[in-house]
Protein backbone atom coordinates (compact mmCIF):
# COMPACT_ATOMS: atom_id res chain seq x y z
CA UNK A 1 0.00 0.00 0.00
CA UNK A 2 1.48 3.42 -0.96
CA UNK A 3 1.13 6.59 1.11
CA UNK A 4 -1.63 8.01 -1.12
CA UNK A 5 -3.76 4.92 -0.62
CA UNK A 6 -3.19 4.64 3.13
CA UNK A 7 -6.32 5.40 5.21
CA UNK A 8 -5.76 8.18 7.81
CA UNK A 9 -6.33 5.83 10.74
CA UNK A 10 -3.42 3.61 9.64
CA UNK A 11 -1.12 6.64 9.72
CA UNK A 12 -2.38 7.27 13.26
CA UNK A 13 -1.56 3.69 14.22
CA UNK A 14 1.96 3.96 12.84
CA UNK A 15 2.48 7.26 14.70
CA UNK A 16 1.13 5.67 17.89
CA UNK A 17 3.50 2.74 17.53
CA UNK A 18 6.46 5.09 17.06
CA UNK A 19 5.42 7.08 20.14
CA UNK A 20 5.20 3.85 22.10
CA UNK A 21 8.72 2.92 21.04
CA UNK A 22 9.99 6.35 22.17
CA UNK A 23 8.20 6.02 25.51
CA UNK A 24 5.63 8.75 24.86
CA UNK A 25 2.93 6.34 26.03
CA UNK A 26 3.57 5.88 29.73
CA UNK A 27 3.15 2.46 31.31
CA UNK A 28 2.40 -0.95 29.86
CA UNK A 29 -1.25 -0.30 29.12
CA UNK A 30 -3.31 -1.14 26.09
CA UNK A 31 -4.16 1.75 23.78
CA UNK A 32 -7.46 1.69 21.91
CA UNK A 33 -8.58 3.84 18.99
CA UNK A 34 -12.10 5.08 19.75
CA UNK A 35 -13.58 4.33 16.35
CA UNK A 36 -15.63 1.35 15.26
CA UNK A 37 -13.52 -0.98 13.14
CA UNK A 38 -14.06 -4.30 11.43
CA UNK A 39 -11.86 -7.16 10.33
CA UNK A 40 -11.44 -5.44 6.95
CA UNK A 41 -9.69 -2.57 8.78
CA UNK A 42 -7.66 -4.99 10.85
CA UNK A 43 -6.37 -6.70 7.70
CA UNK A 44 -4.95 -3.39 6.46
CA UNK A 45 -2.64 -2.94 9.43
CA UNK A 46 1.10 -3.11 8.70
CA UNK A 47 2.48 -6.61 9.11
CA UNK A 48 3.69 -7.24 12.65
CA UNK A 49 1.47 -4.60 14.26
CA UNK A 50 0.69 -5.48 17.87
CA UNK A 51 -3.05 -4.91 17.76
CA UNK A 52 -6.15 -6.90 18.58
CA UNK A 53 -9.66 -6.13 17.35
CA UNK A 54 -11.75 -6.07 20.51
CA UNK A 55 -15.37 -4.96 20.38
CA UNK A 56 -14.74 -3.01 17.21
CA UNK A 57 -11.74 -1.20 18.71
CA UNK A 58 -8.15 -1.61 17.57
CA UNK A 59 -6.30 -2.17 20.82
CA UNK A 60 -2.53 -1.91 20.87
CA UNK A 61 -0.65 -4.00 23.43
CA UNK A 62 3.05 -3.77 24.28
CA UNK A 63 5.35 -6.72 23.75
CA UNK A 64 5.24 -9.22 26.64
CA UNK A 65 7.90 -9.10 29.35
CA UNK A 66 10.56 -11.82 29.67
CA UNK A 67 8.74 -13.14 32.77
CA UNK A 68 5.50 -13.38 30.80
CA UNK A 69 7.33 -15.23 28.03
CA UNK A 70 8.91 -17.70 30.44
CA UNK A 71 5.50 -18.57 31.87
CA UNK A 72 4.00 -18.90 28.41
CA UNK A 73 6.84 -21.17 27.27
CA UNK A 74 6.41 -23.52 30.23
CA UNK A 75 2.65 -23.85 29.77
CA UNK A 76 2.97 -24.24 26.02
CA UNK A 77 5.60 -26.95 26.46
CA UNK A 78 3.41 -28.90 28.90
CA UNK A 79 0.40 -28.65 26.58
CA UNK A 80 2.39 -29.52 23.49
CA UNK A 81 3.94 -32.61 25.05
CA UNK A 82 0.56 -33.87 26.28
CA UNK A 83 -1.38 -33.13 23.10
CA UNK A 84 1.22 -34.59 20.74
CA UNK A 85 1.83 -37.67 22.88
CA UNK A 86 -1.88 -38.46 22.79
CA UNK A 87 -2.61 -37.34 19.22
CA UNK A 88 -5.28 -34.90 20.36
CA UNK A 89 -4.89 -31.97 17.97
CA UNK A 90 -2.71 -28.88 17.63
CA UNK A 91 -1.26 -26.18 19.87
CA UNK A 92 -0.62 -22.64 18.65
CA UNK A 93 0.83 -19.61 20.45
CA UNK A 94 0.85 -15.83 20.00
CA UNK A 95 0.98 -14.02 17.75
CA UNK A 96 -1.76 -15.77 15.78
CA UNK A 97 -5.12 -14.28 14.79
CA UNK A 98 -8.29 -15.87 16.16
CA UNK A 99 -11.26 -14.61 14.13
CA UNK A 100 -14.48 -14.83 16.14
CA UNK A 101 -16.63 -12.19 14.42
CA UNK A 102 -16.34 -9.12 12.23
CA UNK A 103 -15.46 -7.00 15.28
CA UNK A 104 -13.60 -9.59 17.38
CA UNK A 105 -10.17 -10.89 16.37
CA UNK A 106 -7.80 -11.76 19.20
CA UNK A 107 -4.26 -13.01 19.75
CA UNK A 108 -4.41 -15.17 22.89
CA UNK A 109 -1.20 -16.47 24.41
CA UNK A 110 -1.87 -20.16 23.71
CA UNK A 111 -4.69 -22.13 22.09
CA UNK A 112 -5.58 -25.79 21.58
CA UNK A 113 -7.65 -27.07 18.66
CA UNK A 114 -8.88 -30.65 18.79
CA UNK A 115 -8.21 -33.00 15.89
CA UNK A 116 -11.95 -33.11 15.15
CA UNK A 117 -11.94 -29.34 14.48
CA UNK A 118 -8.70 -28.78 12.58
CA UNK A 119 -10.75 -27.45 9.66
CA UNK A 120 -10.96 -24.06 11.42
CA UNK A 121 -7.24 -23.56 10.80
CA UNK A 122 -7.17 -21.22 7.81
CA UNK A 123 -4.32 -19.98 5.67
CA UNK A 124 -4.04 -16.64 7.50
CA UNK A 125 -5.99 -17.11 10.73
CA UNK A 126 -7.96 -19.43 12.97
CA UNK A 127 -11.52 -19.13 11.72
CA UNK A 128 -13.59 -19.84 14.81
CA UNK A 129 -13.31 -20.55 18.51
CA UNK A 130 -10.47 -22.80 19.70
CA UNK A 131 -11.38 -25.60 22.08
CA UNK A 132 -9.07 -24.21 24.77
CA UNK A 133 -7.67 -20.70 25.28
CA UNK A 134 -4.91 -19.63 27.68
CA UNK A 135 -4.55 -15.94 28.55
CA UNK A 136 -1.65 -14.77 30.71
CA UNK A 137 -2.62 -11.52 32.42
CA UNK A 138 -0.58 -8.35 32.05
CA UNK A 139 -1.33 -4.71 32.91
CA UNK A 140 -2.08 -4.09 29.25
CA UNK A 141 -4.59 -6.90 28.74
CA UNK A 142 -6.07 -7.91 32.10
CA UNK A 143 -9.19 -5.73 31.76
CA UNK A 144 -10.06 -7.25 28.39
CA UNK A 145 -9.06 -10.82 29.30
CA UNK A 146 -11.24 -10.83 32.42
CA UNK A 147 -14.22 -9.00 30.95
CA UNK A 148 -15.03 -8.43 27.29
CA UNK A 149 -12.87 -11.17 25.77
CA UNK A 150 -14.01 -13.66 28.38
CA UNK A 151 -17.67 -12.99 27.47
CA UNK A 152 -16.94 -13.33 23.75
CA UNK A 153 -15.06 -16.57 24.32
CA UNK A 154 -18.13 -17.86 26.17
CA UNK A 155 -20.52 -16.97 23.38
CA UNK A 156 -18.18 -18.20 20.65
CA UNK A 157 -17.97 -21.74 22.02
CA UNK A 158 -14.58 -21.96 23.74
CA UNK A 159 -14.85 -25.07 25.92
CA UNK A 160 -12.11 -24.33 28.44
CA UNK A 161 -10.53 -21.00 29.41
CA UNK A 162 -7.37 -20.70 31.48
CA UNK A 163 -6.49 -17.44 33.24
CA UNK A 164 -2.90 -17.23 34.43
CA UNK A 165 -1.97 -14.39 36.79
CA UNK A 166 1.81 -13.91 37.07
CA UNK A 167 1.54 -11.36 39.92
CA UNK A 168 -0.69 -13.50 42.13
CA UNK A 169 0.92 -16.72 40.88
CA UNK A 170 -2.49 -18.27 40.29
CA UNK A 171 -3.95 -20.47 37.57
CA UNK A 172 -7.72 -20.63 37.13
CA UNK A 173 -9.49 -23.08 34.84
CA UNK A 174 -13.00 -22.40 33.58
CA UNK A 175 -15.29 -24.72 31.66
CA UNK A 176 -18.26 -23.81 29.50
CA UNK A 177 -21.52 -24.83 31.15
CA UNK A 178 -24.63 -23.87 29.21
CA UNK A 179 -22.70 -21.21 27.32
CA UNK A 180 -21.22 -19.61 30.44
CA UNK A 181 -17.84 -20.11 32.08
CA UNK A 182 -17.71 -21.73 35.50
CA UNK A 183 -14.48 -22.10 37.44
CA UNK A 184 -13.69 -25.71 38.31
CA UNK A 185 -9.99 -25.73 39.25
CA UNK A 186 -7.69 -23.17 40.83
CA UNK A 187 -4.26 -23.20 42.42
CA UNK A 188 -1.95 -20.56 43.84
CA UNK A 189 1.83 -20.95 43.96
CA UNK A 190 1.61 -24.70 44.58
CA UNK A 191 -0.75 -27.62 44.23
CA UNK A 192 -2.18 -28.50 40.87
CA UNK A 193 -4.89 -27.71 38.35
CA UNK A 194 -6.45 -30.43 36.22
CA UNK A 195 -8.02 -29.95 32.83
CA UNK A 196 -11.41 -31.51 32.11
CA UNK A 197 -11.08 -31.02 28.38
CA UNK A 198 -7.73 -32.83 28.41
CA UNK A 199 -8.15 -35.58 31.04
CA UNK A 200 -4.84 -36.56 32.58
CA UNK A 201 -3.24 -33.14 32.11
CA UNK A 202 -2.19 -31.50 35.37
CA UNK A 203 -0.18 -28.31 35.88
CA UNK A 204 1.70 -27.33 39.01
CA UNK A 205 1.99 -23.54 39.50
CA UNK A 206 5.27 -24.04 41.35
CA UNK A 207 6.77 -25.26 38.06
CA UNK A 208 5.26 -22.41 36.02
CA UNK A 209 6.05 -19.27 38.03
More confident residue, 21 or 61: 61
User: What is the pTM assigned to this prediction?
Assistant: 0.83
Burial state string for 55-79 with b = 16 or more CB within 10 A and e = fewer than 16:
bbbbbbbbebeeebeebbeebbebb
d(CA 141, CA 139): 6
Domain boundaries, the chain: 8-60, 66-207
d(CA 191, CA 158): 25
CA distances from 166 to 64, 100, 194 (A): 12, 27, 18
**Burial label, 182 (beta-carbon count in 10 A; 0-12, 13-18, 19+):** exposed
Q: What is the pLDDT of residue 31?
A: 56
Task: Give the SS3 label for residue 56.
Answer: coil
Spelled out in words, what is the top-level CATH class assigned to the domain 66-207?
alpha beta
Assess whether pLDDT exceeds 70 at residue 19. no
Q: What is the pLDDT of residue 7?
A: 52
Q: What is the pLDDT of residues 40-74, one digit of tens each?
A: 999 999 887 899 999 999 999 889 999 999 999 99
Q: What is the pLDDT of residues 141-180, one digit of tens each?
A: 898 999 999 999 999 999 999 999 999 999 999 999 999 9
Amino acid sequence: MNMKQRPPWISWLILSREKSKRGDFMGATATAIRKRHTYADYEKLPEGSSYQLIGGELVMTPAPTPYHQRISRKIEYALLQFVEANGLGEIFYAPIDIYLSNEETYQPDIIFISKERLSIIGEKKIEGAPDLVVEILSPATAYYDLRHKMRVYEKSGVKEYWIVDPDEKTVELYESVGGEFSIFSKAREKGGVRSKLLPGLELDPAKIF
